[in-house]
Amino acid sequence: MPLLPQGRSLDQFPAGHFIGTAVVIDLRSRATSAIALEQLALYAEQLDDVNFVLLHTGWSAHWVKASYFEDYPHLTVEAADWLSRFPLSGVGIDTISIDPLDSPDLPAHQRLLGRELIIIENLTNLQAVTSSRVTFSCLPLPARAADGSPVRAVAIEA
């Protein structure tokens, strides 16, 4: 069952929705288990003319460890609401989810998906990106009526 029954499935978005400019927000020195609005508000000026926000928490270093699923950085509801006000196509993060793992109603998902922003989770190698602004692509598999898909996420520096 889709997370938002009235929402669009991935195949209903044009391919261009999955490609665009992105700002990489380095939260490694400030990331706690909850990414608060105050941490993101510093980047407000950079969000008016990009398609994607990529949140670099450094959490992908925990991949293949049990700790990857424990107390990872995730968006607060206020931060998700704030991001959804920008003309973005999507929000990416280098953790398993933008919501806490034990969250039954997934409020950050609800806020972003409700505004037709896609969510890209489990990003890796963001430490290799040296520019704060990149061209980003995250094309999903062409599955009909899917609300999630593996992607090959690529950040291209100019």
Residue-wise pLDDT for 17-72, tens only, equals: 999 999 999 999 876 789 999 999 999 999 999 999 999 999 999 989 998 999 99
Give the separation between CA 101 and CA 108, rounded to whole angstroms: 12
Report which of 83, 1, 97 is spatially closest to residue 40, judged by C-alpha positions: 83
Per-residue CA distances from 94 to 5, 61, 103, 137 (Å): 26, 9, 18, 15
Of 24, 81, 14, nearest to 47 (Cα)? 24
Query: What's the residue count for the chain?
Result: 158
* Residue pair 83/50 in contact by the 8 Å Cβ criterion: no
- By percentage, how much of the chain surpasses pLDDT 70? 96
Residue ranges and CATH numbers for the domains of the chain are 10-156 (3.50.30.50)
Note the pLDDT of residue 5: 63
Report which secondary-structure segment, H or E, holds 114: helix 107-114
Residue 3's pLDDT band (cuts 50, 70, 90): low
Mean pLDDT to the nearest integer, 125-139: 95
pLDDT of residue 31: 63
pLDDT at 4 over 80: no
Query: Region 80-100: what's the mean pLDDT?
Result: 97
Q: Assess whether pLDDT exceeds 50 at residue 1.
A: no
pLDDT value for 10: 87
Nearest alpha-carbon partner for 43 in 22, 17, 60, 20: 22
Q: What is the pLDDT of residue 62?
A: 92
